[in-house]
Chain A
Amino acid sequence: MKIYAVNSGYDAISLAISPEKDFVVFVNQADQALYRMSLK
């Protein structure tokens, strides 16, 4: 098990993981904007 980020301040919904599993995109609940999170 691996934890990538803790207490980032984002409340992420609608996640999608890249096929290479190197990043995640999500919608932040607060502003409904699109974000990318690196998993590298």
Chain B
Amino acid sequence: MLPTNNSAISPKTEVSSAPIPQFLKLWDGEVASPAIASKTIVFFDKTHGVFRSLLPLLDVFKEGKLSETVFSNTFSIVLSPNYKMSLIGLYQGQTKRFAVFDFQQNLSRLLPEFVKDAAWSSDSNQLLINHFEPQQETFYFSTANIDGTKESKILEIRLTDAVMFYAPKSAILFYQKPAPDLPSERFFNFDLKTKKLTVVDPTSIGPNIGGFGFDMLPSPSGESIIFSSTDQTGSKLSTFVFNLKTNRIVSALIRRRSLRPRDCLSNTGKAKFRAMIHSLNLISEPAR
């Protein structure tokens, strides 16, 4: 549910009085991390550094601010699954820091310096943290409360630039972010309950799957992922849906240039629906 800070909502902004066309520009300015909470569209207005909302009312959109707090020098914005908070990555000088901003309380909490990266749990109650110890130059995953307290170490890792997801059903998915000479040929699935670490090697799944341009996104159910990879030249991009239970590819979705799973897959998590997009060729198919 959205925060109910009605006082922060301005009277109205009329975007269009005509019937809504297939494509409609909703906000002119730099935008990050749009999401849809029920019928309300929420997003971060990068130009002004504030979170905004747009509520469709017939053929107009009522504009609101989710808060008056201005955030500058941001490098990432990740809304919590319940849309009540946001993880904010921001620069403090040259240092990357993370903060959690609560829309309802209009309160920002800076996370400890050891937080190299963070991700929401599916219930928005916890954070998965990539914890960096500079003295020992070690990384480990931990879970913590959303203010960074009550941290609990989970797993030591040897990845210097891990991309991680706190998937539902108490699983952590992660992989090393690929670099030109360092392909990501496998990803890891760690079950928090059984403490079992599963290594999945996409190159063993099928031919012509490299790990140079590797990207992944778990489905909200946590049962499958979409991933894509390219060869060393950045071509031969292949995208797959992979079932984590059966360790099998469900479908090879599309073989086109510039498909980005993290950008292109969205899933309501309630209905069985999967959609992907490439140059706005939007395709949907029932989840399997």
Contact = CB atoms under 8 A, between A and B. Distances in A.
Contact of B279 (A8, A25, A32, A35): A8
Interface string B224-268: 000000000000000000000000000000000010100111111
A31 to B, nearest CB: 8
Contacts of B30: 32-33
A33 to B, nearest CB: 5
Interface in A1-40: 1-19, 21, 24-27, 31-39
Interface of B: 20-36, 38-39, 41, 43, 46, 258, 260, 263-268, 270-271, 273, 275, 277, 279-285
A15 B28 contact: no
A18 B35 CA distance: 8
Contact of A37 (B22, B46, B271, B284): B22
A8 B280 contact: yes
B23 A21 contact: no
A5 B280 CA distance: 6
Interface of A: 1-19, 21, 24-27, 31-39
B25 A2 contact: no
Contacts of B285: 1
B38 A2 contact: no
Contacts, number: 125
Nearest to A20: B39
Contacts of A19: 36, 38, 268, 270-271
Contact of A2 (B20, B266, B283): B283
B36 A34 contact: no
A7 to B, nearest CB: 7
Identify the interface centre among A12, A24, A25, A38: most chain B CB within 10 Å of its CB. Answer: A25
B24 A1 contact: no
A40 to B, nearest CB: 9
A17 B32 contact: no
Contact of A38 (B21, B39, B260, B268): B21
B41 A25 contact: yes
A1 to B, nearest CB: 5
Contact of A34 (B22, B26, B270): B26
A27 B280 CA distance: 11
Given A25-B26, A34-B43, 20 more contacts: A3-B282, A4-B283, A5-B23, A5-B280, A5-B282, A8-B280, A12-B277, A12-B279, A16-B36, A17-B267, A24-B282, A25-B36, A26-B34, A26-B277, A33-B25, A33-B30, A34-B26, A34-B31, A36-B24, A38-B23
